[in-house]
Amino acid sequence: MPAHVHSPSAHSCLVGELTRLKNSLEEWTGKTISEQALDYAIEVYNTNRRLLKKIYELRRSNTPPLSGTEAMEMVLAGMFMDKEEHNRMLEEVLADQPQPTRLEEPTTRLMLIGSENDDLEFLRLIESLGADVVIDDHCTGTRYFWNEVIWQEDRLSAIATRYLNKPPCPLKDLVERHRFSHILKLARDYNVQGVFLVQQKFCDPHEFDMAPIESLLKENHIPTLFLELDMTIPAGQFRTRIEAFLELLQLELA
């Protein structure tokens, strides 16, 4: 991936890299990757993205039938397993139209913003305290699947366009910060009442972004809590801080 995805040369650069990858795979396997095969793979992956977005749409409800932990588990599973099998399982979940199994009363609606965050125990901790993580903007969440490949005659060009236009992490958005409007739209669409800004230690691009994101959300009357973590979370310390933050939100919303 080009470092500067908004550069005029980024698209041609990425198409060139994908072409080299395709040629090397063909040489290694002794098989030609046809346009039909690319079309098939693109549709399988696009279907996966559509299904995950439908899963996330369920979380816009006042009483989401799926928790943030369950949604993250589905996204993470799709990163490791066969996409067609994953699609079938997502279709089964959606066909069942899951009903709320937790409290019927609306809970505090939260958003997670940060870098890579696949710690399911962290989400379980948050949701055990009476909150719902209804949406996120991080590498193992919506950024992974949010946009699709739009068909073009040149399939590799279409794939390159998709990756250049996906909701970026700060590493790819340090100059323009196009993602700020995307973050604000997600917060409004999902009726977010508070945001956790989750910072992986030593991830400088995200650290540069935390202050302006906090200002952006504050200007739009959305409270934030900054949490810094390493490979593991300080569960006791986080529990205390999250409880205090949720109590403050409840007082403001009362």
State pLDDT tens for residues 95-141: 987 555 555 566 899 999 988 778 888 899 999 998 999 999 988 89
Confirm whether 1 is domain-assigned.
Answer: no
* Residue 211: domain span: 10-253
Q: In what order do the strands lie in the sheet with 224-229?
A: 131-137, 108-114, 194-200, 224-229
Q: How far apart are CA 213 and CA 207, in angstroms?
A: 10
Cβ 56 vs Cβ 142: under 8 Å: yes
What total of structural domains would you count in the chain?
1
Confirm whether 234 is domain-assigned.
Answer: yes
Confirm whether 211 is domain-assigned.
Answer: yes
Confirm whether 29 is domain-assigned.
Answer: yes
- Here the CATH number for the domain that contains residue 176 is 3.40.50.11900
Confirm whether 16 is domain-assigned.
Answer: yes
- Global pTM value: 0.90
User: Other C-beta atoms within 10 Å of 46: how many?
Assistant: 17
Confirm whether 2 is domain-assigned.
Answer: no
Confirm whether 4 is domain-assigned.
Answer: no
Q: Rounded to 5 degrees, what are φ and ψ at 194? A: -160, 155
pLDDT given at position 215: 95
Residues across the chain: 254
Express each pLDDT in 135-182 by its tens digit: 999 888 999 999 999 999 999 999 999 999 999 888 888 777 888 999
Confirm whether 227 is domain-assigned.
Answer: yes
